[in-house]
Amino acid sequence: MMKLMFASDIHGSLPATERVVELFVQSGAQWLVILGDVLNHGPRNALPEGYAPAKVAERLNEVAHKVIA
């Protein structure tokens, strides 16, 4: 049986991205499905903790072969 993990609303936060990747690895899921709002915090939201969209992209690229976005 295929196991999927879903995540969304990372908003460019490196700590949130690290936690998502950590949980993904621990879960044993075959695919990480990212539903959106990965890099941008949006015009009405404050900057999230650890806002670093370029580093978020780098970190997600490390597991890109297992990501559906």
Q: How many domains is the chain partitioned into structurally?
A: 1
**Residues in the chain with pLDDT values less than 50:** none
Hey, which bits of the chain come out as E strands? 4-7, 31-34, 67-68
Residue 63: how many other CB atoms lie within 10 Å: 13
The boundaries of the domain holding residue 42 are 4-68
This prediction has a pTM of: 0.89
pLDDT of residue 42: 80
Beta bridge partners of 34: 7
- The distance of Cα 59 from the centroid of its chain, to the nearest Å, equals 8
Per DSSP bridges, beta strands 31-34 and 4-7 are parallel
Nearest CA to 23 out of 11, 7, 41 is that of: 7
